[in-house]
């Protein structure tokens, strides 16, 4: 019985490692770019990741994902007069020196506006992150389950604008 449990645990860990993706651009490390599956007719999708900066301050100024959307925006959700509001960040997202910045549901995140096709669980799509100082890096977003309960928050995926 212990052997079966150990095998199951090992398989679970290796499966989660398959979905974990890391990308490096100079002193920036981008961990687990992810999105969530969209529902039929849903016009937008969310994007999430963690950026670790081991160097000088930088700024994520834009993201391009032409296979998914021609309009990709950087957004923030924040409390304003006891109301949660979302706003676009036209100047991008600051990545302070020595800091870790999480793009996650309910906070900083990416919005894929007017998506060209539904995002399906298990799919991946390419995107280019553009940083003010470090430049550009191509990453792969992994599409997870549509429902929040189906994924852990630390999987760096969420469902902003996706009914949950």
CATH code, domain with 25: 2.60.40.1890
Residue 78 pLDDT? 83
Cα 39 to Cα 36: distance, rounded to the nearest angstrom: 10
User: Does 41 reside within a domain?
Assistant: yes
Q: How many domains does the chain divide into? A: 1
Q: Determine the Cα–Cα distance for residues 96 and 92; give it in Å rounded to an integer.
A: 13
51 lies in some domain = yes
Q: What is the pLDDT of residue 80?
A: 81
The Cα 117–Cα 97 span in angstroms is: 37
160 part of a folded domain: no
Closest by CA to 65, choosing from 19, 131, 124, is 124
Below-50 pLDDT ranges, the chain: 1-19, 149-164
Domain assignment of residue 14, yes or no: no
Q: In which domain, by residue range, is 124 found?
A: 21-155
Q: Is residue 4 part of a domain?
A: no
Q: What is the pLDDT of residue 148?
A: 58
């Amino acid at each position: 019985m212990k052997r079966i449990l150990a095998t199951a645990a090992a398989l679970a860990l290796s499966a989660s490692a398959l979905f974990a993706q890391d990308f490096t651009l100079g002193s920036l490390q981008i961990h687990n770019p992810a999105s969530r599956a969209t529902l039929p007719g849903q016009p937008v999708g969310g994007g999430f990741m963690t950026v670790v900066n081991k160097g000088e301050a930088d700024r994520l100024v834009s993201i391009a994902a032409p296979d998914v959307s021609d309009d990709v925006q950087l957004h923030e959700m924040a409390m304003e007069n006891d109301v949660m509001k979302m706003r676009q960040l036209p100047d991008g997202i600051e990545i302070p020196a020595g800091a870790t910045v999480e793009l996650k549901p309910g906070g900083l995140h990416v919005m894929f506006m007017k998506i060209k096709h539904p995002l399906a669980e298990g799919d991946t799509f390419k995107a280019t992150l553009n940083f003010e100082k470090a430049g550009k890096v191509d990453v792969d977003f992994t599409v997870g389950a549509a429902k929040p309960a189906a994924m852990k928050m630390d999987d760096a995926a969420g469902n902003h604008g996706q009914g949950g």
